[in-house]
Amino acid sequence: MTPLNWSDLDGSGRAAALARPPARRSPELVAGVSAILDDVRSGGWDALWRIATRIDGQVPDEVAVAPISAAARKSLPADAITAMELAAANIRRFHEASRPTDTRVETMPGLLVEKAWRPLDRVGLYVPGGATPLFSTLLMLALPALAAGVREIVVVTPPTAGGLDPAIALAAELCGIDSIWTVGGAQAIAALAFGAGGIPACPKICGPGNAWVAEAKTQVSALSGGPAIDMPAGPSELMVIADRSASPATVAADLLSQAEHDASAQVLLVTECEEFRSAVTAEVQRQVADLPRADLARRSLEHGRAILVRNLADAAAVANAYAPEHLCLAVADPEPLVRAINNAGAIFAGHAAAESFGDYLAGSSHVLPTDGAARAWSGITVHSFMKAISIQRVSPEAGRALAAPAAALARLEALEAHARAAEARAA
């Protein structure tokens, strides 16, 4: 992790300090994703089959969940099954309680304006896989979608050596999902966007992934008639703001918990204490040594920063400038910082609030905006799988009262047909 003193940096130095790893969106990656999307869009199932065979090493397959889930209940540790069931219960409880309610307002006598929430008909969910199939992401996506009332959920995930990971199958069972397509990467996003074989085109695609998946989501959402996406959700990132009351060993463990995700993941420490920064840096080096994913973590740490600030107010400013996916507030009194933070995907307030709890079983979704998108985007909620429709009900009396002012406003914009349509209600 690169040590930096915030007060010593000018504007360009601060921008460089908070820059994401450049490999997340290199020209080669953008071009590679574009080629895959074009191929699947024009070639359909045959193109998807060919690309998946080359990249995933297996043909795309719709795998029935029930047999694998049943076997998983026999093979997985009992405490892991119980923990997954607890996670599912907490996530379901939070999102069912978060459903929005319709709003109806009489803005003037006889004019009733309503905002009515409706679930999406179908969504495509991407669940990261490969070396570490993230069953937790399936829970974090599907349970909010179910709470919203989505009728059709299409799930894709990269294949494992056995086809479908047992833990993902068990998570699917807990979500009531009967089958999952084993296909990953940009080609899976293409299939969800355009449809391919038995994979239907989806009006919205949700879920995190590596840089290829994130770029594919960005590109398909920009197409005319393309699907909506939940957010930019690429490689993981974590910022920890810590004071002298924090444990250096615990903070180091938190940083490494995200560094082990991906070589493109980024972790940042922000503290007002030079001695504490040195202690955390030493702990990171000590703890990374025996991690099973130490090589990945070390590559991620090359993008890491250990930033010294004058005070916690400056730390909040750094956090708002960076807009982290995850923000841990490892301070004695986190509430003033919570109120000062406007840009973050999720905040973990206080020494006991581990980011790992949020990853698995606190209840809110761990699918969060990355790459600074938290300045404007939210993480997955039940709202992500719904849309609001405005409804206007107008009495004849209100129509007559509205006709003249509406016509006046229309003519102010030189839209005569609008004005006449309003005046038609004046009679």
Give me the active site residues, please: 325-326
Q: How deeply is 238 buried, as exposed, middle or buried, from its count of CB atoms within 10 A (0-12, 13-18, 19+)? A: buried
- For residue 123, give Cα distances in angstroms to 139, 142, 152, 202, 338: 14, 9, 7, 5, 33
As a whole number of angstroms, the distance between CA 86 and CA 171 comes to 11
Give the single-character DSSP code of 372.
T
Q: For residues 370 and 237, is the Cβ–Cβ distance under 8 A? A: yes
Q: Read out DSSP for 278-341?
A: HHHHHHHHHHHTT-TTHHHHHHHHTT-EEEE-SSHHHHHHHHHHH--SEEEEESS--HHHHHH-
**Geometric angle at alpha carbon 365, from 134 and 91, rounded to 5°:** 95
As a whole number of angstroms, the distance between CA 301 and CA 275 comes to 20
What lies within 8 Å, CB to CB, of 214 at 6+ separation is: 24, 208, 232, 233, 234, 235, 370, 371
